[in-house]
């Protein structure tokens, strides 16, 4: 097997998307590996998932640093130390500073078909509530590059999920998550194999 693409996964809460990448990476032919997990929330179950998988984990909170420069510099140094080639946001609830966006390749997974239902405040159940309010018949999942504008980067992959008449935000979220857990590891693998080329 050729050298594997080194990933950093950033997560703030449950970490189910992180787990999907951990599980995919267990296969010997998977072309990427998680070299670092980053969270802003020490109580996140994502942290437990990473530690259980033996993945180095770093807490990154602005309040721990005197200046923005120190905050950004700390993470820049960590990403370089672990030779990170791709950052994967997986339910990460903080804005990535512009200096890091410009310096590293970053992708994100969003629980809707962008450009619909994206932007500030559109995360978690809020997205599914918006889909149901809009009366959409179809929603889905988008994997996209990250730039300095919310949910605005180049779309790399999408998958559709039917909206059922009886859906609640919770039931819709559950079905969308099942698709997320398939499409995110698949898209990362395509990037690692050079089948998807990133602009960043």
- CA-nearest of 167, 180, 168, 166 to 113 is 180
Active site residue 13: no
- Residue pair 23/42 in contact by the 8 Å Cβ criterion: no
By DSSP bridging, strand 32-39 and strand 138-145 are: unpaired
Name, in order, each residue with C-beta under 8 angstroms of 164's C-beta and a sequence gap of 6 or more.
171, 172
> What are the CB-based long-range contacts (under 8 Å, 24+) for 121-124?
122/150, 122/151, 123/91, 123/93, 124/91, 124/173
110, 128, 144, 181: the active-site residue? 110
119 in the Ramachandran plot: left (φ > 0), alpha (ψ -120 to 50) or beta? left
Q: Which residues are catalytic?
A: 110
């Amino acid at each position: 097997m050729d050298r594997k693409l080194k990933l950093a996964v950033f997560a703030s809460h449950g970490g189910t998307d992180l787990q999907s990448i951990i599980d995919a990476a267990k296969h010997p032919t998977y072309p990427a590996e998680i070299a670092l997990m980053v969270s802003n929330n020490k109580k996140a179950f994502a942290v437990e998932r990473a530690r259980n998988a033996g993945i180095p984990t770093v807490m990154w909170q602005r309040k721990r640093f005197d200046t923005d420069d120190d905050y950004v510099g700390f993470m820049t140094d960590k990403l370089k130390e672990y030779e990170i080639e791709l950052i994967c946001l997986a339910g990460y609830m903080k804005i990535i500073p512009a200096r890091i966006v410009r310096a590293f390749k970053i992708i994100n997974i969003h629980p809707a078909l962008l450009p619909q239902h994206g932007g500030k405040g559109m995360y978690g159940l809020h997205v599914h509530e918006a889909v149901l309010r809009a009366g959409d018949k179809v929603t889905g999942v988008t994997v996209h590059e990250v730039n300095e504008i919310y949910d605005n980067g180049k779309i790399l992959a999408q998958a559709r999920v039917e909206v059922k008449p009886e859906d609640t935000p919770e039931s819709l979220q559950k079905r969308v998550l099942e698709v997320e857990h398939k499409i995110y590891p698949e898209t990362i693998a395509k990037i690692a194999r050079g089948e998807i080329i990133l602009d960043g």
